[in-house]
Amino acid sequence: MSTTENNAVDSNHHADDHHHGAPKGIKRWFLTTNHKDIGSMYLIFSLVMFFIGGAMAMVIRAELFQPGLQIVEPDFFNQMTTVHGLIMVFGAVMPAFVGLANWMVPMMIGAPDMALPRMNNWSFWILPFAFLILLSSLFMEGGGPNFGWTFYAPLSTTFSNDSTAFFVFSVHIMGISSIMGAINVIVTIVNLRAPGMTYMKMPLFVWTWLITAFLLIAVMPVLAGAVTMVLTDKYFATSFFDAAGGGDPVMFQHIFWFFGHPEVYIMILPAFGIVSQIVPTFSRKKLFGYSSMVYATASIALLSFVVWAHHMFTTGMPLAGELFFMYCTMLISVPTGVKVFNWVATMWRGALTFEVPMMFSIAFIVLFTIGGFSGLMLAITPVDFQYHDTYFVVAHFHYVLVTGAIFSIMAGAYYWLPKWTGHMFDIGLAKAHFWLSLISVNVLFFPMHFVGLAGMPRRIPDYATQFADFNAIISIGGFAFGLSQILFVVVVYKCIKGGDKVSDQVWEGAEGLEWEVASPAPYHTFSTPPEIK
């Protein structure tokens, strides 16, 4: 039996259970090789992690609500900032995008399933164990990892507690999962496209994921190398990062950020893909500049490998190095700007309707652009000496990752939920979720720019009284944003349980644009948009 037939059997949702006695109930979820089941498990897992990571952010903001030490010890505060970062990056954002890829990529390219269904199951099921290991360290003697999610040496190699081994092991498992997922995406897209589906006819979400998958395979081994060196420095008397033994602590930063910078693009490229699917649908127009979007995505991915040391301007680099990384970082804003202009041009003179996915997408475009501008500011070497390690940096990357990556995940979830469940979600509740999130997220992160410019350092549980008012506002925004996300769970739960049945054309007036994804020609090749009702 050929691979394709195998997959067809796999993706046929256990239709012939009575012949084979295939597993039912909970066992089905453990053993499933169906891309939709696995996609759903990734999405549910990332939602759970989103709330666990969010709870840690609540602890951080409760501590910073007033100056002085209120509710937690400084060491526990550092454990919270560390694990919050790790969980949000590796547990919430990345698995959510992998879940969306599992669900949508086979359907968008007309494939029966993912190319490697058993590996797909395996790459998901090792994730809960990775995070169980990481979270369990918080309850052990000495507490969890307390050296920041970037685990800089010599902090992580000398001054940390004994949770380092658990942290390293869990990161290895996350990396293995990511690499397997990426291999699966690449093999699926390269080998299982429907006849006539050329590369330049693939929907943009498929393109962004193909490029993201190559990034993952390139940088995950670098992270594995960095954590292994940290492990041997701490427990096996090596001195990779110890100057006394001939090592160099700055080398750690080079290795880490060579992984870390492409990693942040891994977390935003699929978001670009989602927004590039949604904006044309609700503009009733094909995407403006399809091929330039593909080339822009590839350019961003390539450039992401030559900007890593912009995280290290204050480490005493040679001037030539600082100039090189400054100019490369500014260069990366060009293809990013191309994408933003193309989305705006797609909406320009379109027949727009503001459905919930479109609202999240427009918020994404505006707020991600703010994050991009603050990133451009951080790229200016002499200016970065002032910004470095302040809340300005925190504001910058949260605009990119919360109003960027997470808003796009919300947009994608609302966009495809009717397709996944056959039901329309509660639009009133979903709009309430959007507006509450939009307002609170800006109350939460915008004032951080100001306290950062004024010199408030990040990762510190106490601060000067001059920052008290702004921090109170920031914390209120944080609690409001966290509580707003409960609405999202309610909307999703209600939608899965029932609701109005949807037609093939879920988003009325956008017929044939997005829901024809399984046919060989994706919607951007249609010559004329359908008539607007």
Catalytic residue, from 311, 396, 398, 433: name it: 311
**For residues 211 and 302, what is the distance between their CA atoms, to the nearest angstrom?**
10
Say if 323 falls within a structural domain.
Answer: yes
Quote the Cα angle for 291-295-300, to 5°: 145
Q: Output the CA–CA distances (angstroms, integers) from residue 317 to 216, 249, 332, in the order listed.
A: 28, 14, 21
Say if 22 falls within a structural domain.
Answer: no
Catalytic residue, from 40, 177, 346, 440: name it: 177
139 & 50 share domain: yes
Concerning whether 339 is annotated as a catalytic residue, the answer is yes
**For residues 304 and 310, what is the distance between their CA atoms, to the nearest angstrom?**
11
Concerning whether 261 is annotated as a catalytic residue, the answer is yes
- Eight-state DSSP code of residue 481: H
Half-sphere exposure of 439 (CA within 13 A, CB side): 9
**For residues 455 and 464, what is the distance between their CA atoms, to the nearest angstrom?**
10
Q: Identity (one letter) of the amino acid at 283?
A: S
Q: Judge whether 401 and 93 are in contact, CB under 8 Å.
A: yes
User: Is 486 exposed, middle or buried (CB count within 10 Å of its CB: 0-12, 13-18, 19+)?
Assistant: exposed
457 & 493 share domain: yes
Say if 1 falls within a structural domain.
Answer: no
Concerning whether 475 is annotated as a catalytic residue, the answer is no
Q: Which residues neighbour 128 within 8 Å (Cβ) at sequence distance 6 or greater?
A: 45
Catalytic residue, from 29, 122, 125, 149: name it: 149
169 & 292 share domain: no
Concerning whether 458 is annotated as a catalytic residue, the answer is yes
Say if 106 falls within a structural domain.
Answer: yes
Catalytic residue, from 113, 355, 511, 514: name it: 113
Residue-level length of the chain? 533
Catalytic residue, from 103, 257, 265, 515: name it: 265
- In this prediction, residue 507 carries a pLDDT of 82
For residue 101, which of 160, 22, 164, 189 has the smallest C-alpha distance?
189
497 & 365 share domain: yes
276 & 397 share domain: yes
Concerning whether 391 is annotated as a catalytic residue, the answer is no
Q: Identity (one letter) of the amino acid at 174?
A: M
Catalytic residue, from 276, 283, 346, 390: name it: 276
Cα-flanking dihedrals φ and ψ of residue 52, to 5°? -65, -50
**For residues 527 and 530, what is the distance between their CA atoms, to the nearest angstrom?**
10
- Eight-state DSSP code of residue 151: T
**For residues 342 and 336, what is the distance between their CA atoms, to the nearest angstrom?**
10
**For residues 229 and 235, what is the distance between their CA atoms, to the nearest angstrom?**
10
Element (H, E) at 84: helix 74-86
> How many Cβ atoms sit within 10 Å of the Cβ of residue 191?
12
Q: What is residue 397's three-state secondary structure?
A: helix
Concerning whether 149 is annotated as a catalytic residue, the answer is yes
Q: Which residues neighbour 212 within 8 Å (Cβ) at sequence distance 6 or greater?
A: 97, 182, 185, 265, 266, 269, 270, 301
Q: What is the pLDDT of residues 80-132, one digit of tens each?
A: 999 999 999 999 999 999 999 999 999 999 999 999 999 999 999 999 999 99
420 & 475 share domain: yes
Say if 381 falls within a structural domain.
Answer: yes
Q: Judge whether 13 and 34 are in contact, CB under 8 Å.
A: yes
Concerning whether 311 is annotated as a catalytic residue, the answer is yes
Say if 421 falls within a structural domain.
Answer: yes
What is the end-to-end Cα distance of the chain in Å, rounded?
47
Instruction: Print pLDDT tens along the chain (533 aa).
Output: 444 444 444 444 444 444 456 778 889 999 999 999 999 999 999 999 999 999 999 999 999 999 999 999 999 999 999 999 999 999 999 999 999 999 999 999 999 999 999 999 999 999 999 999 999 999 999 999 999 999 999 999 998 888 999 999 999 999 999 999 999 999 999 999 999 999 999 999 999 999 999 999 999 999 999 999 999 999 999 999 999 999 999 999 999 999 999 999 999 999 999 999 999 999 999 999 999 999 999 999 999 999 999 999 999 999 999 999 999 999 999 999 999 999 999 999 999 999 999 999 999 999 999 999 999 999 999 999 999 999 999 999 999 999 999 999 999 999 999 999 999 999 999 999 999 999 999 999 999 999 999 999 999 999 999 999 999 999 999 999 999 999 999 999 999 998 889 888 788 654 344 443 333 444 444 334 444 43
Q: Which residue is it, tokens 């920052």?
A: 467
Q: Which residue is it, tokens 């001195």?
A: 239
Take residue 271 and report the two structure tokens written for it.
């978001």
367 & 297 share domain: yes
382 & 450 share domain: yes
**Residue 442 Cα to chain centre, angstroms:** 19
- In this prediction, residue 21 carries a pLDDT of 60
Catalytic residue, from 61, 172, 234, 310: name it: 310
Task: State the chain's mean pLDDT as an integer.
Answer: 92
Count of H-run helices and E-run strands, the chain: 20, 0
Concerning whether 263 is annotated as a catalytic residue, the answer is yes
Q: What is residue 533's three-state secondary structure?
A: coil
Count of structural domains within the chain: 2
365 & 325 share domain: yes
- In this prediction, residue 67 carries a pLDDT of 96
Catalytic residue, from 63, 233, 263, 384: name it: 263
Catalytic residue, from 336, 361, 440, 484: name it: 336
- Residue at which a domain ends, from 233, 259, 285: 259
Q: The CATH number of the domain where 388 resides is what?
A: 1.20.210.10
- Residue at which a domain ends, from 242, 259, 276: 259
Quickly list DSSP for 405-471.
Answer: IIHHHHHHHHHHHHHHHSB---HHHHHHHHHHHHHHHHHHHHHHHHHHHTTPBSS-S---GGGHHHH
Concerning whether 336 is annotated as a catalytic residue, the answer is yes
Q: What is residue 399's three-state secondary structure?
A: helix
For residue 152, which of 216, 248, 261, 84 has the smallest C-alpha distance?
248
56 & 147 share domain: yes
Q: Judge whether 414 and 357 are in contact, CB under 8 Å.
A: yes
125 & 274 share domain: no
Say if 17 falls within a structural domain.
Answer: no
Q: Which range of residues forms the domain containing residue 152?
A: 32-259
**For residues 512 and 14, what is the distance between their CA atoms, to the nearest angstrom?**
29
Q: Judge whether 391 and 456 are in contact, CB under 8 Å.
A: yes
- Residue at which a domain ends, from 259, 284, 317: 259
88 & 134 share domain: yes
Catalytic residue, from 201, 431, 458, 494: name it: 458
Take residue 132 and report the two structure tokens written for it.
């169980």
What is the pTM (predicted TM-score) of this model? 0.91
Catalytic residue, from 261, 286, 433, 449: name it: 261
Say if 14 falls within a structural domain.
Answer: no
